[in-house]
Amino acid sequence: MKKAAQYLTLVLSVLFSVAAVLPALAEEEPPLLNVAIKGKTLDQVTESLINAINSNNYSFVRQQAIDSRLVPTDWEAKSVRIIYFCNFDTMNRALALDTRASEFLPCRITLIETRDGVELMAVNPAWVSLRLGNYRLHEYCVKLKSDYQAIMNEAAL
């Protein structure tokens, strides 16, 4: 009985430590990943982003205007676009680890046309996973974050 209580105490200590440390680390992760691309149009950046997605072993899923299906097609916003992509193998592994991975799946990058060019924005999956407190999912998300950065930086070249 005493041994069982000691074991449970140990398990809870580890659980508590991990749960306490991960959200604290979230402050060290930026919530958003941003890249500003100067001197290019939205269409040019869309094309280079899709190429970067493919060359980083992800599949392009679709692109849409931010207000797609919410307004008639002719009225859709021309200056804000969303690109969805995924890697089915890693999506499968992430969902097997934790269904809350659906918070950052499928991957998406929002493109906003600015006066100087185009800004790319994406939610940092590592920031999300730190808040969720699942260490194994976080390991996956750190890799996902570096893939996002590689894709966004490649699109900016």
Partner 1 sequence: MKMPIGSKFFGILLVLACSTMAQAAPLVAARTTDMRDAIDRITIAAENNGYRLVKIQAVDSALVKRGFENPGVRILFIGKASAMEQAQAYYPPLLSMLPLKLALIVRDKEIVVTSDDLDAWKEMFPEPQAHHLIDAWLKDLELILRDYVER
Considering only 38-46, 50-58, 118-126, 148-156, which stretch makes contact with partner 1 by CB under 8 A?
118-126
Q: Is 41 a residue that touches partner 1 (CB under 8 A)?
A: no
Element (H, E) at 108: strand 107-113
DSSP for 23-72? Answer: HHHGGGS-SEEEEEEET--HHHHHHHHHHHHHHTT-EEEEEEETTTTTS-
Among candidates 125, 63, 121, 118, which has minimal Cα distance to 90?
125
Q: Is 133 a residue that touches partner 1 (CB under 8 A)?
A: yes
Residue linked to tokens 């999956």: 125
**Binding test (CB under 8 A) with partner 1, winner from 3, 5, 115, 157:** 5
What residues line the site for partner 1 (CB under 8 A)? 2, 5-6, 8-9, 12-13, 15-16, 19-20, 23, 31-32, 64, 66-71, 77, 80, 84, 88-89, 91-92, 95-96, 99-100, 102-103, 105-106, 110, 112, 121-123, 127-128, 131-133
